[in-house]
Structure 1
């Protein structure tokens, strides 16, 4: 038993290896969550209509981005599998295909600037909130290309397990975003008072700073150019098509998931500004629990991808088990906190009306009911998709989101059911989704998949992997 415990900690794919890669990603994801949370807090201080407008429009803009985000983020799996197979000179080429997709995606997302107002006028929100939503949405659409390019370039490090760089950039972005927001939302330090537009400008300016850092360390160092071909073999049509082939299902699933969730959020907004503001705060708090687990999910994708590239499936399975343990532990703690001591966090929103806070506490109880299954969904969906099982993830994930969340939410709202019935539907959907993806992982089909070409007998460049 002692040997088994030690192996669980230190063996390849054990807790220590997972934590080594996951900790920087958790901190990076947490930094992103702090960005979102600080936006909500400052906008709640500014006005109730601003915080209400930021949630729906922010989610809508990200829903618009998430198809390309899903494709581009799949660059991570290509980098991981090439790294695991020892084909390091293919790493830079894989990242470049993500850069090309980022430029295309950024141009298409920017079109939201021109049709966004018409979309939000159909949501049934109050005119004051719609005005806020349109401003925020337009500016976030303009900054969509920054999200894409940051994602593509970050895969150069994360796919190889060098997650410290991702952590540093994300923390820096957060450290810039908070003062940018403070200055631009409220008009401090000689800046104009822009309200909700200031929050969007703060997000875009800090993202641009992060992009400059990624670009410098991808293009400039000689070691990157020499060992990973970051400035040569730029376009590879076959690889570009293959990335679209495997990444598109990932993007479609991501898009439909977020679109369905956006329907849920829009429906909540139809129950009045109080419910909409409470939802914005509740999901801002949910991001504290959810976003760090995205870091563990990324770690699963990295370790499974590298293990699949190296042909070591047992290593992949151990990594998933370790990640599951960490996920359930963290999500369990957060679920208890949200139910037993929500006031430990809600005091930040002391200027918000008591009715909003009361509804937020109820929503946190619903969130606590699905947190563990949400964690399982993140772990197991990342595991199978990293190997190449993206088609199943698309079909099943999209079907569940539409049939179990979007359609029921819209119908229940239309026929006048309580908002808490709609929240119950959301809980059931996430529990079912987590269970189904666990079953798919246990089925083992992913163990026979791979997204990269046969790399032959290339030696793994361990010295380069360790030094870089």
Structure 2
């Protein structure tokens, strides 16, 4: 288990970076769909498909060196490296799946994606069991069986989406069989995503630096980090899901030039985020002791410590989720230079903030997640201010264009 988790976390630095770049396809699909430039959608998605394949040119050599360094001298080095290299080799399938997903989500067609995703998750369990432990004529492959099951299910996911993407109706409307590599279009699509990918790298670097800082404090600090991190991992998908939906809506508004709908488009996201956070408060704020005992039955902590950690996780999750509302606007506007700037600010200021309170002011590490929630709050605030500026700038430009047209 330790080997599989370590390899999974190590490969994320490449996988999440490329996926975050490929998901920018959502912005382009939404914009072209709103502008009624449907014939650009198919060729545009193909540029992201080509990028997913080309990403191996960076992932394989740098991933190989990173793995050698990351696992060198560890007790799991011999058994983890083959598994890690297998995950590395199939990493291109994840941005590929993300790009194909954007073709459907960007047009508001989520049913196909939901059904295919559900089917793949359902078949992953029996395939994983058979490959890992063996079944009838299938030999037991252990850790490598886990890698094989991941490869099979992700490949099925990509092929199913590709089949629907290439069907006759989609080709007639969106030119989905126009598969050629086109450098001008490729660069137009990839360039904003590069900055977002760097932002994701900076975010992971910031988290890694804070993790390293906490690890230096001993077992108690690591326990606080692990408990909160486990809970945050379970709740983090709310924000990502809201971001995808909002990016689609805002991109279509931009494409259709229906700028009066910008602020009203905030409302559904705010309602969904509020409901999610209120539901989460039942476990983390109202029944923290029961929740902790259910999730961590073998860990014994003082009840006041448990309540403090879970309260910090709730605030952190709340601000993290709400921050994705303005972030989705910034990404839809393709304002990725600001996103990159915020990545640097969060990395430097975030680490210094935690370092100051934990190491210099000697705050208890039980306050770590409350401190992290303040970082998420400031991030949400800066992105919101940038969003309002972008909206007003867009409206002003449209007003000036209208006046000039009438003149």
TM-score range, shorter chain: 0.7 to 0.9
CA distances 1:197-247 after superposition (whole Å, capped 9, x unpaired): 55444433321221111111112x111111111112633322211112322
Alpha carbons of structure 1 residues 137 and 294: separation in structure 2 relative to 1, 3 Å: same
**Is it true that 1:399 corresponds to 2:399 in the alignment?**
no
**Is it true that 1:70 corresponds to 2:20 in the alignment?**
yes
CA distances 1:14-35 after superposition (whole Å, capped 9, x unpaired): xxxxxxxxxxxxxxxxxxxxxx
Report if the CA contact (8 A) 1:387-1:447 is conserved: no
Deviation at 1:89, TM superposition (A): 0.8
Correspondence for 2:196 among 219, 234, 250:
250
Report if the CA contact (8 A) 2:354-2:368 is conserved: yes
CA distances 1:275-304 after superposition (whole Å, capped 9, x unpaired): 657755643432332213322210100010
Deviation at 1:348, TM superposition (A): 6.3
**Is it true that 1:80 corresponds to 2:30 in the alignment?**
yes
Match runs of 1:380-395 below 5 Å: 380-395=326-341
**Is it true that 1:149 corresponds to 2:96 in the alignment?**
yes
Deviation at 1:339, TM superposition (A): 3.3
Larger Rg: 2
TM-score, structure 1 normalization: 0.73
RMSD of equivalent CA atoms: 3.4
Match runs of 1:42-441 below 5 Å: 43=1, 49=2, 54=5, 57-121=7-71, 127-128=74-75, 137-184=84-131, 192=140, 194-195=142-143, 198-219=145-166, 221-232=167-178, 234-270=180-216, 279-280=225-226, 282-342=228-288, 353-355=298-300, 363-396=309-342, 398-406=343-351, 419-420=365-366, 422-441=368-387
CA distances 1:379-407 after superposition (whole Å, capped 9, x unpaired): 110112112222112212x1232113345
Aligned partners of 1:416, 1:202: CA distance in 2, in Å? 48
Structure 1 unaligned residues grouped into runs of 5+: 1-42, 44-48, 450-468
Alpha carbons of structure 1 residues 141 and 341: separation in structure 2 relative to 1, 3 Å: farther
Report if the CA contact (8 A) 1:389-1:446 is conserved: no
Report if the CA contact (8 A) 1:320-1:379 is conserved: yes
- Secondary structure, aligned partner of 2:37: coil
Aligned partners of 2:229, 2:131: CA distance in 1, in Å? 24
TM-score, structure 2 normalization: 0.83
Structure 2 unaligned residues grouped into runs of 5+: 396-407
Residue 398 of structure 2 corresponds to: none
Aligned partners of 1:437, 1:180: CA distance in 2, in Å? 43
CA distances 1:394-427 after superposition (whole Å, capped 9, x unpaired): 212x123211334555788888965445545423
